[in-house]
Amino acid sequence: MEDRNPGPAGIKALLTPGQRILGLDLGTKTIGLAISDMRWTLASPLYTIKRTKFTQDARELLEVCAREKIGALVLGLPVEMDGTEGKRCQSTRQFTANLRPLTDLPVGYWDERLSTAAVQRMMIDEMDMSRKKRAANVDKAAAAYILQGFLDAMART
C-alpha cells in the first residue's frame, strides 16, 4: 500500500521537475500559505486564506495548487510540547482526510511546534514589525517556516 503521508524523502521521490510544494499553517480562522521555489530549496510566504466552510477553503486551496503547479502539500502538525498529538493534530489530520477525495496530491506533515512563536520573535527582534503588521503576516510566515524545515530535511535525503 502506498504511503499517503510520505516524509521528506517520499515527497522528493514523487515530485517532478517544475513542480512546487505548498506549505500550510492551518488555524481555526485562517490558513497561512507558503510556496517553494522549483528547486525545492527556498520557502516564501504566499498569502493567508480566511477560513469559511471546508468546501470553500478546499476550492481556494486547489485553485492555488493548479495555478502554481503544486506537486505536494506540507501541513504543519501542531504536536504538543511533550510530543503527543492532541485535538489540534486530529483537526489537521481530519482536514487532510477531507481533502483526499478532492486531490491526488501527496500530503506530508512537519512538526510545527513553536513555529508561530519563532516567527513572531523574528518579526519583533529582526524586523521591528508593528503588532498590526505581525498579525497580518504571521500565518503565511509560519507556513514558510514550516515549509522551510521540510525543504531542509528534503535536501538532506
Q: pLDDT of 78-120, one tens digit each?
A: 877 787 778 888 999 999 999 999 999 999 999 886 655 555 5
In the sheet that holds 107-111, the strands lie side by side as 43-50, 30-36, 20-26, 70-77, 107-111
Taking residue 38's Cβ as centre, other Cβ atoms within 10 Å add up to: 15
- Compute CA 73 distance to the chain's CA centroid, rounded to the nearest angstrom: 7
Q: What is the pLDDT of residue 1?
A: 34
CATH class, domain 8-155, is alpha beta
pTM of the model: 0.85
Task: Render the burial of 109-135: b for 16+ CB within 10 Å, e for the rest.
Answer: bbebeebbeebbeebeeeeebeeeebe
